[in-house]
Amino acid sequence: MSALELKLARDNGVEPSAMALRTSNPIRQIVDSLTVTGNPDKEPIKLSIGDPTVFGNLPRAPQVTQAIADAAATGKFEGYPPATGYEFARSAVARYFSERVIQVTKSILPDDNDDLARRNQLDSNDVILASGCSHALEMVIAGICNPGENILIPRPSFPLYKTIADSFDLEVRYYRLDASDNWQVDVKDLDEQVDSRTRAILISNPSNPCGSVYSKEHLVSVLAVAEKHRLPIIADEIYWDMVFSGERFIPLASVSVNVPIISVGAISKRYLVPGWRLGWIMLFDRHKQLVNLRKGLIMLAQRICGPNSLIQGALPSILNDVPESYHEELNKILEDQARYCFEKLSGIEGLRPVTPQGTMYIMVEVVPQKFADIESDVDFCSKLLLEENVMLLPGKAFGMDNFFRIVFCGPKGKLGEAAERIAEFAKRHLKL
């Protein structure tokens, strides 16, 4: 730069807003802080990002591909949809998910459930479409909480919750998940975290990063805390039905009697199309407690005018034409990979994987005392990358020290190879 240019840059450098400066992505920060580059002598294996399409081994339902081709071919989905989404697309979401909620209610709350079930019937007005579940979360969190107020989020949790809260200058308070009890909510801790400035409780079920799936009884105990404090629950149910044998996914709305449930989701994971950026907010509002919030969310949707029209055009077919058997098949594949990962990792000294019950994630505890020269989860992941070229996310990215997360979407070949490298690495660093 010339002297004049330097002067111009100094004089007239445009500073970003405080909001921009507050908006940080912990994953990016952690990945950046893993300053090392992977061992160039070994083929890289990335099990760090929650993108089920990365390895190409998971089969996409042909109906999904067909649906988008059909929607594009009609030439009808090029104009502006309403900011909250086309009525027909919102209606498809309302019908698909509320039918499932009602089925679950009827099967698990056998007495006197007709009224409960009926009131969980959503219509298109109860749904707002969003540009991915991320955007749904942005609207809900910013739509419910003011600066100086807080929402309760789990520790560990998907980092975007905090990213959004930080960006809008909102507080988060963490409640504890118990690794020794299948990552269930520590209900006492949850209760104690509520203060006079708490606006909502966020529950992630099935959970990223834990891979846990909550029972009806557990959800009821969480609902009791929300009801006691008269708080709504934001249910991040993006892994809807992605559970393994012996487990059942219970949508939170299906067991809530008095607590309003704001359920967010997306086609991203269930249909293996995270790049398509289509998600939703569903308001399960039996007692008309969300009437004003709904108006607020509709206003917020105006800001960027909703998700892509073509995907909205394809949405009814994606939801209605992909058979249940596809989801069962996908769950089987994921479960098989999960078990394989778990078994490979459970024999390794110094590591303790927690059995996943669903999703695409397994959390593994690292016991630093067992190792000669590994100080933390970040240190573990950093050295593993350097020596073995395997990329994992340390628990710190999720607010949880001494764990790392493995994404088990890849084929067994890759997962096995990664597990072997992890085993060798761990052995090499064990305390003698």
Ligand X SMILES: Cc1ncc(COP(=O)(O)O)c(C=O)c1O
- Within 142-161, the residues that bind a copy of itself by CB under 8 A are 142-146, 160
**If binding is defined by CB under 8 A, does position 300 make contact with a copy of itself?**
yes
Binders of a copy of itself in range 81-100 (CB under 8 A): 81, 83
Among 33, 53, 355, 376, binds a copy of itself (CB under 8 A): 53
Q: DSSP character for 156?
A: S
Cα–Cα distance for residue pair 152/172, rounded to 1 Å: 6
Cβ-based nearer residue to ligand X, 105 or 359:
359
Rounded to a whole number of angstroms, the minimum distance from the CB of residue 374 to a copy of itself is: 29
According to the binding rule CB under 8 A, does residue 61 interact with a copy of itself?
no
**Among positions 46, 90, 135, 405, the unique one binding a copy of itself when judged by CB under 8 A:** 135
- Tell me the CB-side half-sphere exposure of residue 213, using CA atoms within 13 A: 21
12 binds a copy of itself (CB under 8 A): yes
Please compute Rg for the chain using Cα positions: 22
Query: Hey, what are 310's tokens?
Result: 């073509």
Reduce the DSSP state of residue 246 to 3 states and report it.
coil
DSSP structure string for 184-230: EE-HHHHHHH--TTEEEEEEESSPTTT-----HHHHHHHHHHHHHHT
Give residues 370-409 in contact with a copy of itself (rule: CB under 8 A).
Answer: none
Site residues (CB under 6 A) for ligand X? 50, 132-134, 158, 204, 208, 236, 238, 266, 268, 274, 279, 305
167, interface contact from a copy of itself, ligand X, none, CB < 5-8 Å by kind: a copy of itself
Q: Give the C-alpha separation, 206 to 248, whole Å.
A: 10
Least CB distance from residue 193 to a copy of itself, whole Å?
A: 19
Structure tokens at 55: 């390895």
User: Residue 323, preceding bond cis, omega within 30 degrees?
Assistant: no
Query: Is residue 299 a contact residue for a copy of itself (CB under 8 A)?
Result: yes
**Nearest distance in Å: CB 154, ligand X:** 10
For the chain, the distance separating the N- and C-terminal CA atoms, rounded to the nearest angstrom, is 55
Question: Which of a copy of itself, ligand X, none sits in contact with 36, Cβ below 5 to 8 A by type?
Answer: none
Identify which of residues 42 and 295 has a Cβ nearer to a copy of itself in the complex.
295
∠183-55-333 over CA atoms, to 5°?
Answer: 55
